[in-house]
Amino acid sequence: MLSNLKIQRVAESRLGSVDFDRLGFGDVYSDHMFSMRYDDGRWHSPEVLPFGPISLPPASATLHYGQSVFEGLKGFMGVDGVVRVFRPDRNAERLRHSCERMCIPAVDEEVFFRAIDELVRLDHGWIPRKRGQAFYIRPLIVATEPQLEVRPARSYRFLVMTAPVRAYFDTASAAVALSVEERFTRASPGGTGETKTAGNYGASLYPGQSANAAGYAQVLWLDGVEHRYVEEVGAMNIFFRFRDRVVTPALRGTILRGVTRDSVITLLRDRGLEVEEGLVAIDEVIDAIGNGELVEAFGAGTAAIIAPVGKIAYRGKEWVINGNATGELTRELYDTITGIQLGEIEDRHGWNRLIPVEDGEQAQRLRASG
């Protein structure tokens, strides 16, 4: 499908204007992006072109009816000068699932991989060299047909953009603080909770903003039926360590099938630790903090990787976990996953997609000297 791929390089790179010591998260984008169009029942016209605005009719279905899906994954410059993209097969699979739920024609997996490969090869100079930073990759599919009838659109555009990013949370903090949300609902059974679609995130902004204003990093969502069972955090899945077992909410169609979540479960089971996926009552969590049974809590997601949770606010009281410090298991998981992503630890499960790039060895030396 990409035998006719067109590549239009930028006339002059913007790389020299980027301060890699002051990166944000998605406010600076690399030189190029990938684009492909869908109409008349097929995907066509693949191209790599300079990153920039796209033309979209004001009557496009994505603007009116939210018919859009996206993904998020990361690439890293390995210690051997080879770029590693972490588990893109799982992102491609999840994107297909999101497309099916939102009545969007799926993109072939090989197209997904090739788009990422081409952008990495062109813009590998944008990959940060400091630990904790990453090369964020954002695939996106939007409906472009200009029509106002409530139905699936007949034309779409697939885009992939990349950005050098900092760590998602403030690394100066000991751990993140969460606020339990009992009034608003992120997702309900039968809804779109397990799809990565724009509407899920738009609906979460107001509760998230309220939590931020109260001094909390994220919302801890409860189920949409009883507001009794923990589901996920705004930007990551959640794990609780009750002494000798680790518990995480089960995938019941209302939370995202996190790639990092799956990685954590695999690594824990590799170690012989018991991991339970099931219903996690918020009252059980609070009681376990109070009696010392809950020794660690952490979030897992592409943006945050592994983030320790130090405080949970619930019904007017703040509960502190592990002295508001990073726990031993949390630290070990973070070090293991980042070590695999950087090529420092053996990738026993074959999670990384390896992309050799020009001057990779020089990038390795820059990392070592930095």
Alpha helices in the chain (DSSP H): 61-65, 88-101, 109-123, 198-202, 205-213, 259-270, 282-291, 328-342, 360-369
Is 142 inside a domain boundary?
A: yes
Nearest to 239, CA basis, from 133, 337, 135, 170 = 337
Considering the domain architecture, whether residues 165 and 187 belong to the same structural domain is answered as no
In 284-307, which positions are buried (b, 16+ CB within 10 angstroms) versus exposed (e)? bbbebbeeeebbbbbbbbbbbbbb
Considering the domain architecture, whether residues 277 and 310 belong to the same structural domain is answered as yes
Is the confidence at residue 203, as pLDDT, over 50? yes
pLDDT of residue 336: 97
Question: pLDDT by residue (tens digit) across 135-144?
Answer: 999 999 999 9
Structural domain of 316: 176-325
Question: pLDDT by residue (tens digit) across 322-356?
Answer: 999 999 999 999 999 999 999 999 999 999 999 99
Task: Give the distance, in angstroms, between the CA of residue 303 and the centroid of all CA atoms in the same chain.
Answer: 5
Considering the domain architecture, whether residues 320 and 190 belong to the same structural domain is answered as yes
- Cβ-contact 48, 30 below 8 angstroms: no
Nearest to 316, CA basis, from 193, 118, 195, 182 = 182
Distance CA 225, CA 163 (A): 38
Question: pLDDT by residue (tens digit) across 238-251?
Answer: 999 998 899 999 99
Considering the domain architecture, whether residues 285 and 191 belong to the same structural domain is answered as yes
Is 166 inside a domain boundary?
A: yes
Other CB atoms within 10 A of residue 219 CB: 24
Is 339 inside a domain boundary?
A: no
DSSP H or E run through 32: strand 32-39
- Cβ-contact 321, 296 below 8 angstroms: yes
Name every residue whose Cβ is closer than 8 Å to that of residue 195 and which is 6 or more positions away in sequence.
69, 97, 98, 101, 102
Considering the domain architecture, whether residues 24 and 160 belong to the same structural domain is answered as yes
Residue type, 305: I
CATH number of the domain enclosing 124: 3.30.470.10
Mean pLDDT, residues 200-210? 94
259-270 helix and 88-101 helix, angle to the nearest 10 degrees: 130
Distance CA 336, CA 345 (A): 7
Task: Give the distance, in angstroms, between the CA of residue 267 and the centroid of all CA atoms in the same chain.
Answer: 19
Distance CA 370, CA 367 (A): 5
Considering the domain architecture, whether residues 229 and 264 belong to the same structural domain is answered as yes
Q: Give residue 168's pLDDT band: very low, low, confident or very high (50, 70, 90).
A: confident
Is 1 inside a domain boundary?
A: no
Considering the domain architecture, whether residues 30 and 157 belong to the same structural domain is answered as yes
Q: How far is CA 154 from CA 37, 143, 183, 332, in A?
A: 11, 8, 37, 47
Mean pLDDT, residues 31-54? 97
Q: Per the structure, how many domains does the chain have?
A: 2
The three-state (H, E, C) secondary structure of 72-126, written as one string: CEEEEECCCCEEEEECHHHHHHHHHHHHHHCCCCCCCHHHHHHHHHHHHHHHHHH
Considering the domain architecture, whether residues 152 and 211 belong to the same structural domain is answered as no
**The two three-digit tokens of residue 141, written as one number:** 């599919």
Question: pLDDT by residue (tens digit) across 275-331?
Answer: 999 999 999 999 999 999 999 999 999 988 999 999 999 999 999 999 999 999 999
pLDDT of residue 248: 98
Distance CA 125, CA 114 (A): 18
Considering the domain architecture, whether residues 310 and 226 belong to the same structural domain is answered as yes
Distance CA 325, CA 307 (A): 11
Is the confidence at residue 87, as pLDDT, over 90? yes
Distance CA 177, CA 309 (A): 6
Distance CA 218, CA 201 (A): 13
Distance CA 186, CA 204 (A): 6
Considering the domain architecture, whether residues 208 and 242 belong to the same structural domain is answered as yes
Is 240 inside a domain boundary?
A: yes
Is 302 inside a domain boundary?
A: yes
Considering the domain architecture, whether residues 58 and 85 belong to the same structural domain is answered as yes
SS3 for 40? coil
**The two three-digit tokens of residue 318, written as one number:** 């703040």
pLDDT of residue 367: 43
Helix and strand counts by DSSP (H, E) for the chain? 9, 18
